[in-house]
Amino acid sequence: MFSCTKRSLDVEIWLNADLINKMSSYYDYVIVGAGSAGCVVANRLSASGKHSVLLLEAGGPDSSPWIHIPIGYAKTYYDGKVNWRYQTAADPGINNRRGYWPRGKVLGGSSSINAMVFIRGQAEDFDDWHAAGNTGWGWDDVLPYFKKLETVACTDSELRGKNGPVYVNQVIRDMHPTNENFISACKEIGLSANPDFNAGSQEGVGYWQINTKDGRRMSASRAYLRPARGRRNLTIKTNCFVSKLLFAGNCAVGVEFYCKGELVSVMAVKEVVLSAGSINSPQLLQCSGIGDKETLQALEIPVVHHSPQVGRNLQDHLGMNYYYRSIVPTLNDRFNSLSGKVLSAMQYLLFRSGPFSLSVNQSGGFVRSSENRKRPNVQLYYQPISYLSAPTGKRPMIKLDTFSGFQIGTSQCRPKSRGYVNIISKDPNISPEICPNYLSHEYDLEEMLESVKLIRKIVSAPSMQSIVVEEILSGNQVDGDNALIEDFRQRGDTVFHPVGTCTMGTSVSNSVVDHRLKVHGMQNLRVVDASVFPTFPETRTLQV
């Protein structure tokens, strides 16, 4: 038999002969998932040269040009080569519709296919984490790491970093002119302007900052993995699907994975770090025997550790977009004309500028949906583009409307509805059940009503009225609380931010990992990704 004990930072492992024979090689650390978190962990653990590190990624290399051209995420949005393309269960909160959840399946993970808007989060959100018993996660604790990760040229604020691997830009000169109409209208109804959402207060409206450098996406892979590739102590394996974590008693000792059709086992002498994301991390824990014991036993999975919160506490931002016909040309006109496409392509190829170098989310803000809210509780998005003619559910932005149009969207910052991720088979190749339980909390309905009414108030301001022909969707005929709620249930959709399924907390009864991200009740096993967030910090592109 075998056991596992700790001595300082090292682990001595005694294994039986059968388990030893399964191991093809060993490393100090094995990291599962090369996404936004895994790339960072691989860089940091291998930096000293003292530790051997294996990074395993189920997807392939980030070689597609559509990954690196910022507007290219319109292409990767539904591309199965770089995207898990998850579907949720039918959700009563959105009239039993199934949601489409793209998740990165490539080096860089979702940071290689997302919309690149760079937001740190509200200081109070992190202080809430700390107050809940998660030592070291207050705003004053995390701020040095936010500064450490970034290089920002668009501000002189002492709260921003200047020498980090993630480049952050705010290219206002390339933004569409109608953004100024949106921002001006917000100010006309009393919302404040904010030139930098990532310094001081997050409240207000303005232009988004995006993580790009020289007109190219700054993914976690580009920022953290590429500088580390030459290290002899770092091994990166792509197209390797991890099927199971290996344990000696309550100690993680390695992983099994499929690579080129072959089942391979490797040993982790010090730790296994699970960075597979808010869907795959709880799925892999459950398939490996860590989860609710009744769920595992029903699927004939041997229980390694009863951890009932695995897969629970799922949170996601549910968004709502309103579409408008415009008097003035928008990006629809530019991208629907041959000359506009050629001009945009030439701008990008010659100068790395123009609309190809940007996100379609160009401006927006964090605001209070009513004067009764104590801090910003909803986010606004302005996009000088519309795609109502795109196939339902897929929203590929390469098929734009033929008229001049734009959209304004909103989502809550801190929804109270909670869902879950649960395996339905012990086969890790079978996707888990994803149940967001959108709008299951009355509070979320209240904030939704306030935020959609706020959008219409913004559009009624003079600066927006000067460019608006009509509201196409939902249309002015959809009015009154009941009609607005029904419209939200019928059209609301994910904003692609699932968190919380391996939540951080003080005990196994209320969480999966502790404040050091160690799995409760286990040794040498951590979860390091957005699944550990106990609640939403209003962040995008969190890479530390």
Burial (CB < 10 A; 0-12, 13-18, 19+), residue 86, is middle
Per-residue model confidence (pLDDT) at position 24: 80
- Residue 142 neighbours by CB under 8 Å, 6+ apart: 126, 544
Residue spans of the domains in the chain: they are: 3-63+221-314+500-532, 65-104+167-219+315-494
H helix intervals, 404-542: 442-459, 462-465, 481-491
**Domain 65-104+167-219+315-494 in CATH: superfamily?**
Glucose Oxidase, domain 3 (3.30.560.10)
pLDDT less than 50: residues of the chain: 1-3, 6-13, 393, 540-544
- Please give the C-alpha separations between residue 359 and each of 62, 317, 463, 500, in angstroms, as whole numbers: 19, 19, 23, 26
On the question of a common fold for 3-63+221-314+500-532 and 65-104+167-219+315-494, the answer reads no
Burial (CB < 10 A; 0-12, 13-18, 19+), residue 6, is exposed
Look-up: residue for tokens 């609640």?
Answer: 535
Per-residue model confidence (pLDDT) at position 537: 86
Buried b (16+ CB within 10 A) or exposed e, 166-179: bbbbbbeeebbebb
306 pairs with which residues across the strands? 291
Per-residue model confidence (pLDDT) at position 13: 47
pLDDT tens digits for range 311-328: 999 999 999 999 999 999
pLDDT tens digits for range 357-386: 999 999 999 999 999 999 999 999 999 999
| Residues across the chain | 544
Choosing from 176, 317, 497, 520, the catalytic residue is: 497
**DSSP class of residue 30?**
E
pTM: 0.94
Phi, psi of 234 (to 5 degrees): -115, 125
306 is catalytic: no
The listed CATH number (1.10.1840.10, 3.50.50.60, 3.40.50.1820, 3.40.30.10) that belongs to domain 3-63+221-314+500-532: 3.50.50.60
Nearest-angstrom CA–CA distance, 198 and 123 = 10
